[in-house]
Amino acid sequence: MKVRFWGVRGSIASPGPKTVRYGGNTTCIEVETNSGDVIIIDAGTGIFPLAQSLLRRLPVKCSVFITHTHWDHIQGLPFFIPLFIPKNEISIYGAFDPVASQPIKDILNRQMEYCYFPVREGELKAEITYNNLRERETIEVGSARVTPILMNHPVLDFGYLVECDGKKMLFTGDNEPLYNIYSPDDDYYHEYETLIAMKNKMFIDFVRGVDVLIADSAYTTEEYPSKKGWGHGTFDSCIKLAAEAGVKSLYLTHHEPTRSDDALDVIYQGLKQKYSEPFEFRIASEGLEVEI
């Protein structure tokens, strides 16, 4: 199984001289199995360069799994060129939105209404199927199995576990570690602490032993207090998760859009000095390819 990063930024694309090395495109990850099955996780702006690579092997058959429908994770989908080409087969998966009471198809199609984009979904030429997912519902994609798990973010948000040929990769999508919303003197504080402990154990068991963990590390620990509740993790929280779950390697992603390449280098050097974990951890960059 091969994993390739096509977009590693969060919130908004941030191209320019300060983001050349790590990349400025928003989230998009490609997984290719040994059998040639193509799984795409999220359709941020990074899906556009991914599309160019897929055009070399027409007809395209692939599955796109959306973690959640915030703009930085779907805004590249209208520019995914295989959608426009006959005989291509594109399967799109995501959550039913309980707030808007809309399936994933309706949510994604809204950004292709004529006032936003000149080509409407009904004019696309590929064979496109839309599939609503439930948590822990495993989907078979060729030789692979993909299982969603609910994460902590200000919209319904799935992380995805991909399993194939005895190997495992998990992407958290956007995720903030759970914290107690009550103060210690509130009646519900201890009850909520018990709930958090139970949910954390369930998630760690789900992640346990994966070969590759890709995790949302948007902020430093020092930045986090002013970002609390925004739905994102820190570099330290991701390393803590990876250590508790006994993963084999960790890739830190969803870089804050104003953070330069040089700033990421400084953070990475500091993390290497701070931690001597028995697993490899790296900061993800566009074009990085990982063989599992």
- What is the pLDDT at residue 99? 84
- What is the pLDDT at residue 201? 96
Contacts of 226 (CB under 8 A, 6+ apart): none
Nearest Cα residue to 244 out of 206, 218, 273, 214: 206
Q: What is the pTM of this model?
A: 0.97
Count Cβ neighbours within 10 Å for each residue of 223-236 and write b for 16 or more, e otherwise.
ebeeeeeebbbbbb
In this structure, the number of other CB atoms found within 10 A of the CB of residue 276 comes to 6
Is the predicted pLDDT of residue 122 greater than 90, yes or no?
Answer: no
How far lies 139's CA from each of 1, 117, 171, 221, in Å?
Answer: 17, 31, 16, 36
Is the predicted pLDDT of residue 46 greater than 90, yes or no?
Answer: yes
Is the predicted pLDDT of residue 98 greater than 90, yes or no?
Answer: no
- What is the pLDDT at residue 65? 98
Domains and CATH numbers, the chain: 2-291 (3.60.15.10)
Residue 36 · residue 143 · CB < 8 Å: no
Residue 89 · residue 127 · CB < 8 Å: yes
- Distance from the first to the final alpha carbon of the chain: 5
Is the predicted pLDDT of residue 93 greater than 90, yes or no?
Answer: yes
Is the predicted pLDDT of residue 165 greater than 90, yes or no?
Answer: yes
